[in-house]
Amino acid sequence: MTSERTDWDEILVAKDVRTRLEALQETGELRTVFPSLQRLVGFGGEGTGHKDLWAHTTKVVEQTVPRPLLRWASLFHDVGKPVSYRCVDGHISFHHHEAESAKIFRAVAKKSRLFQKAEIDEISFVIHNLGHVESYEPSWTDSAVRRAAGALGPHMDSVFAVARADCTTARPEKRRKQLLRTKELRDRIESLRALDAIPPALPKGLGQALMASLGLSPGPELGNVVKELRGRVEAGELPRNAEISVYLKAL
């Protein structure tokens, strides 16, 4: 790690990180080292229909867990918004700004030579995948929640950490709802993972074996037998997901 990178890491994890970032912006060092971040300065604010991006970014960095890689992700998480900005009939949008932000960070990181490849991959992944958390709605099906969890992969904790920090509204009720929504997604992911870790009550192929052994046909009668066996498994009378012969013998 270079001394320049160490200096930046120290700035980003400092308690007064917002003050330090503002000082770097005012002296022009921010523009010199990271011109893409300088574009956030003056973008948005009162009367523009969108929050001040630079003020928002420094606040998100401040609210992020003080780990260097997480704070680098926070620092660049909205850097793609200025180039993704669209305003149609007064409606402002930033479609795919997460992907654009991740792309910009990768380019900046490679050019600066301040990061190792694994660090670039993790930081850009977190930036790119924030939308999987921030777009969550309670109406999502379990399948949708599983897909989101799969997309977040091994960096899920990091994505959630930055997503929680990316709530800078000054309205207490709005902030509470946003944070609760993020927590709800995390809780649902953990619940589904626990559920998916439980083996199925009965083994695959049991239905075919029951038809062959008992002379049953597909229909309510077969369904009732399977239901009875499943109930005995859940009651602890029969082992879970054992060999088919165990259930045939039980009958």
Between CA 73 and CA 78, with CA 74 as vertex, the angle to 5 degrees is 100
Contacts of residue 153, defined as CB under 8 A and 6 or more positions apart, other chains included, come to 125
Q: What is the pLDDT along the chain (251 residues), one digit of tens a residue?
A: 677 899 999 999 999 999 999 999 999 999 999 999 999 998 887 767 778 999 999 999 999 999 999 999 999 999 999 988 888 887 888 888 999 999 999 999 999 999 999 999 999 999 999 999 999 999 999 999 999 999 999 999 999 999 999 999 989 999 999 999 999 999 999 999 998 888 889 999 998 998 998 888 888 889 888 899 999 988 899 999 999 999 888 88
Helix (H, G, I), strand (E, B) or coil at 200: coil
The conformational region for residue 215 under phi > 0 = left, psi -120 to 50 = alpha, else beta, is left
pTM for this model (two decimals): 0.81
